[in-house]
Amino acid sequence: MKLTTKRLILRIPKTSDWKDIKEGVGDLDVSKTLSGAPYPYNKKDALAWINKVRKNWKIKHCDNLEFVIELKSENKVIGATGFDKIDRDLGSAESGSWIAKRYWRQGFITEAKTAINDWAFNKLKFQRLESRAFLTNTASNEMSKKYGYRFVGTLKRATKAKSTGKIHDVNIYELLKENRKKKFV
């Protein structure tokens, strides 16, 4: 599975991607707003994630499908994005993502999500996406609002970040297919 945009390739991870993934998620500024990433983040963590994702892509109707985001100009993996808790019957899933800090605020997640969400809404026939962000995660909350996600509510003390051990309130957003903004999503 591979999707291509102007600057990016969204594809299934390869074992050799571990260094780039370790570099990206190994940065506490990235992992502190993710639930499941440990800190420090080692080679074995990156390889375990790669193996899990590769395995999932081989399972028919798997409820977790993730892509790495490769920057064409550098042949480098600069992030990851995808879907979890996929309910094929309902056409619904949760989406998540990260971009390595050096590449923040250059429109990369916008470009990546435009592609994978197009694919999910059109090919997988999704009709709803959910996005969750720690209350303190300005970038993710702003991004959801900018691209037309509806703020649903806040779950109090609902998640612990593995990297910091801190418990966070979590904002929930949802996007219905018909409410998508043109640029993103």
Interface with ligand COA (CB under 6 A)? 30, 33-34, 96-99, 104-110, 133, 137-140, 142-143, 146
Q: Which is nearer to ligand COA, 7 or 54 (CB)?
A: 7
Q: Which is nearer to ligand COA, 106 or 179 (CB)?
A: 106
Q: In the 3-class helix/strand/coil scheme, how is 16-58 assigned residue by residue?
A: HHHHHHHHHHCCHHHHCCCCCCCCCCCHHHHHHHHHHHHHHHH
* Shortest distance, position 83 Cβ to ligand COA, whole Å: 13
* Shortest distance, position 139 Cβ to ligand COA, whole Å: 3
Q: Which is nearer to ligand COA, 9 or 99 (CB)?
A: 99
Q: Which is nearer to ligand COA, 126 or 140 (CB)?
A: 140
CB within 8 A of 180, min separation 6: which ones? 117, 121, 147, 148
DSSP state of 149: P
169 phi, psi to nearest 5 deg: -75, 145
CA max distance for the chain: 42
* Shortest distance, position 161 Cβ to ligand COA, whole Å: 10
